[in-house]
Amino acid sequence: MEQVQRLVVRNLARRTVTVTLFALAEFCLWNAMDDFTNFQRNFSTGEVEVPSPGDARPVIIHKTEYRERRDHVAYFACSGAAAGFDTQREKFLGAYRDWREPIVVEQGESANSIAQGWQPMGSHHLKITLQPGESRTIILR
């Protein structure tokens, strides 16, 4: 199943503004019931591919067990140029933090983390500068 999100950001101010956005997808490891019960395997198998720095259309690929036992991947793509990314949940959230106060959002900068095991996820960090009255559309999928 694929979910596509369309985000329109519009500057209603009378001055130029820069907006910082963090788009995020938490990947399921292909079996939700197994995700909740088999932590030994799930926290050891996370594997991702990330976009090159400055990629105009970044894609984060979750390839855990791709071609080993299952021949499928998941991805999180963004139509805008990313200022950064994260794929490691704990680096994004911060130690002992949860989704209410991610450290990356608080600091305003991605950690550019690479998941190697341990809860892979995908986050695109966007910095959008808009002139007065300008709008920008971002597609996430």
Q: Does residue 66 have a pLDDT over 80? A: no
Greater confidence, 81 or 129? 129
**Per-residue pLDDT, 70:** 63
**Per-residue pLDDT, 95:** 92
- How far apart are the C-alpha atoms of 91 and 77, rounded to whole Å? 20
Lowest model confidence (mean pLDDT) among 7-16, 26-35, 45-54 = 26-35
Q: What is the mean pLDDT of the chain?
A: 85
Q: Give the start-to-end residue ranges of the domains of the chain.
A: 5-140
**Per-residue pLDDT, 2:** 67
**Per-residue pLDDT, 116:** 81
| Per-residue pLDDT tens over the stretch 93-140 | 999 998 899 999 999 999 999 888 777 889 999 999 999 999 999 999
Q: Does residue 78 have a pLDDT over 90? A: yes
pTM of the model as a whole: 0.85
76's CB contacts (< 8 A; 6+ apart) are 23, 25, 27, 59, 60, 62, 122, 124, 140, 141
Calculate the CA dihedral of residues 11, 17, 18, 24 and round it to 10 degrees: -30
We find that the CATH architecture of domain 5-140 is Distorted Sandwich (2.70)
